[in-house]
Structure 1
């Protein structure tokens, strides 16, 4: 990425729409825009939209009218000169505008090229307009599927996580400064003077450990809200999996009949509980669980194979049992197997019969017919996924990168605490404290390697 180049891209999603936007950013953004707009000698003032015709081709023929807005450096998203050309949302019009900008650059010897994915936001980060947690929030905001995801991303974009990190970082810097000043003072004739008392050092480290520890604990909720989870409904044929699937969705998505084996393939649907996006997967009945013999045909065999794949891939497995029938040895064996991973036992058709005493004791009794137990099932799903400990604000860790950075800081602080307790020289403590500070800085992007930055921004869409 070079700040001497101007970049251009379509910033609105592919396809037709009422409005489409072509964005330019860089030192030549305004003169390049002037080459493809009939401005009649007018300038592009900061932040004031202007109506202008878009011209393209050697004959400079008008192809559309556009609302054009310029943002002068450094008061723009990227910190550079930015021009946004809003035309009618025809893909042909938008592509023609981009081509016209590139051609104008070649004719006028401007350094202009197509933007890479996420390059506008990467330039905003490089210019100090955003830190790395805010840049990641831009991606999350675009990808949000629920209102709660939008709120979390908007909070991060507003600097909630950066503000939460300010306290531990300031404390670390203060402690490092005190120790280094004390070492400078003690390097003279007063080598035995303990400038910073060990008790004070221990207190400061403990406070930072507590704050960063709480932040690390927020990762379970933050990552779940950001990425969502998949739920697989498994069980023997006619246990009521599809009925329960529809009941949770509150609409008829899966076909339900009294005939065992109606569901022959997996059925997937998106859903959300308290803002957490979920992917529900209804599966074909696992006939070999019911001791009814082998699958009836090749189609059912394929359905069962896909059911097992869904079971293996799911973040949470719902083993649905027909409460009107006794538990089989195979069902109990699967319930035992699921003890080592997140799962729930659902005793469906509880309106027909009580739960079998031989079955698992922690089963959730439900009825897809009457709706009994559905509210409890939703709550149990959230608790099992770890979403029951939502923080009171948006300052949470949402990515593995962020979590790893906080963990590195915590490890370094624990080592510093041990060194202080063992009365080791302050030089040893400072090494650990500097490692902790570097880890915190990497969270916001102050010390993040270029290859990590490239990986983060390559996940963005082009034009953002």
Structure 2
């Protein structure tokens, strides 16, 4: 689809696949009202074109070819431009079974609509100026939010919190460009030098604002995608028990037999608003068992990809060669060392563990007794938020595309500072500033290419 809104009328099922109390078929475009007129008969006899905007009307969906009643329904019409896409929209709220939904969708297609592409409703909202690109991307973040904190960040970005900050920074850069271009029009040396000095101060202010935004990128990404957390340790140290305790349900099999967990178990768990994508791995040890060996190798591979490692040791046993092998896997990875079974008589040398841990946080816990788990959750929250703003009203950069554009804008501003320091003329500074201005525009979609737009909306679900 081009950057200009298509004249096609689109239709799709906008509710999740499967059985439900209510299902919704959504139609958007110039033919939406006419299609509704053809297939909907209200109990009051009111035609679709006579229904007021945002008024719900009860009636039947009827196949115009044979007058067969397909389903009872409530039809909601939203006249342009007061709609999600800023086009005429019809929503048909029927029973949420796959058969009535499919029959109604087929009717809309027969009557002149075409099947919507993934994300095409939101894409039209963007192309028609209702949402900028950052807000449009936040729509899927709202849908996919895994915790209240994730949802709060997504809703903030949907409401324009991030976009407003980026647009403000972009306006500041545009102001600098205007100052320099004025100096170019009046090329006295003292004016150019004074203008360059003023711009340098403004660039430092903008770079500080960008630094504050970029400081939220790691936390924002974790809240959006989840903190990839791997539980490792030797067999029978309590890894599966820890997973069950964090999930507050018995998800993994727990026995006294070493090597019970051979495959990888992955679950999402909410830790103080942070979505942990937590992975329970096979116990790491030398083994002749072919299946268990595959699990051990997979566990080692996951360690290299994890955002956080939870390494378990046994308080009731001396540090073994297997424990040392696991500790050596940490290398430069972010990790918390957990000494489990702290309710049992101690046999582990804490000083030796701390020496191997290389300054990482070491916590004593007892999964069986539920001791130390609150401290573990707080430690995870401290790592994620890193002393920055938590779940307040600040904007979060939670998207890798946004973070990359902001970093590149920051680099172009650094280039501008270097150009000023080198005593280059104002038109050279303008080149760098305009490059920064364009990179900032990629966040909101003002300067992004059509191929990027298509790629972004292709990741949406059909019907949104």
**Fold agreement, TM-score > 0.5:** yes
- Aligned twin of 1:20: 23
Instruction: State the 4+ residue runs in structure 1 displaced beyond 6 angstroms.
Output: none
The aligned counterpart of 1:152 is 153
In the alignment, what sits opposite 2:435? 435
What is the CA–CA distance in structure 2 between the aligned matches of 1:229 and 1:16, rounded to whole Å? 32
Task: Report if aligned partners of 1:56, 1:96 keep a CA contact under 8 Å in 2.
Answer: no
RMSD (Å) for aligned C-alpha atoms: 2.1
Tell me: CA distance 1:462–1:194, structure 2 relative to 1, closer, same or farther (3 Å): same
My pick for the range that moved more, 252-261 or 304-313, is 304-313
The separation in 2 between residues aligned to 1:79 and 1:196, in whole angstroms, is 47
Measure, in 2, the Cα distance between the counterparts of 1:387 and 1:60.
64
- Structure 1 contact 87–94 (Cα < 8 Å) conserved: yes
- Corresponding residue for residue 70 of structure 1: 77
Instruction: Provide the C-alpha distance between the structure 2 equivalents of 1:234 and 1:371, rounded to a whole number of angstroms.
Output: 19
Equivalent residue for 2:300, pick from 302, 308, 315:
308
Match of 1:37 in 2: 40
Q: Counterpart of 1:101 in 2: which secondary structure?
A: helix
Check conservation: 2:269, 2:278, Cα contact below 8 A.
yes
* Other-structure match for 1:371: 370
Label 1:280 to 1:194 Cα distance change in 2 as closer, same or farther (>3 A). Answer: closer
When structure 1 is superposed on structure 2, of 369-378 and 453-462 the one drifting more is 369-378
Aligned match of 2:399: 399
Cα displacement (A) at 1:307? 3.4
Which structure 2 residue ranges, 5 or more long, are not aligned? none
1:309 to partner: Cα distance:
4.4
| SS in structure 2 at match of 1:263 | coil
Is structure 2 residue 86 aligned with structure 1 residue 79?
Answer: yes
- 1:292-324 alpha-carbon deviations (Å, 9 max, x no partner): xx34x4443344344334434433222211122
Identify the range of structure 1 (405-414 vs 30-39) with the bigger mean alpha-carbon deviation: 30-39
- SS in structure 2 at match of 1:135: helix
1:212–1:62: structure 2 CA closer, same or farther, 3 Å change rule? same
- Per the alignment, in what secondary structure is the counterpart of residue 440 of structure 2? helix
**Distance of 1:462 and 1:212 partners within structure 2:** 35
Give the unaligned 5+ runs of structure 1.
106-111, 289-293
Does the aligned pair in 2 maintain the 1:320–1:348 contact within 8 Å? yes
Cα deviation digits, residues 369-399 of structure 1 (max 9, x gap): 3333222222233344566534532411111
Q: Which moved more, 1:131-140 or 1:330-339?
A: 330-339
**1:349 partnered with 2:330:** no
1:291 aligns with none
Distance 1:303 1:426, change over 3 A: closer
User: In 2 relative to 1, CA 182–309 (structure 1 residues): closer, same or farther, beyond 3 Å?
Assistant: closer
Q: SS at the partner of 1:281?
A: strand
Normalising by structure 1, report the TM-score: 0.91
Alpha-carbon shift at residue 426 of structure 1 (Å): 0.2
Return the alpha-carbon distance in structure 1 between the equivalents of residues 451 and 408 of structure 2: 19
Kept after mapping to 1: 8 A contact 2:180/2:196: no
Q: State the shift of 1:359 in Å.
A: 2.0
User: How do 1:42-57 residues align onto structure 2 when only pairs under 5 Å count?
Assistant: 42=47, 43-57=50-64
Report how far residue 192 of structure 1 moved: 6.1
Cα distance in 2 between the residues matched to 1:311 and 1:201: 46
Contact 1:233 1:241 in 2 (8 A): yes
Q: Aligned partners of 2:178 and 2:285: how far apart in 1?
A: 68
Do the aligned partners of 2:210 and 2:410 also contact (CA within 8 Å) in 1? Answer: yes
Helix, strand or coil: the match of 1:359?
Answer: helix
The residue number in structure 2 matching 1:358 is 352
Secondary structure, in 3 states, of the residue corresponding to 1:340? coil
TM-score where L is the length of structure 2? 0.91
What is the total number of aligned residue pairs between the two structures? 449
Query: Which one of the candidate residues 259, 262, 279 is aligned to 1:261?
Result: 259
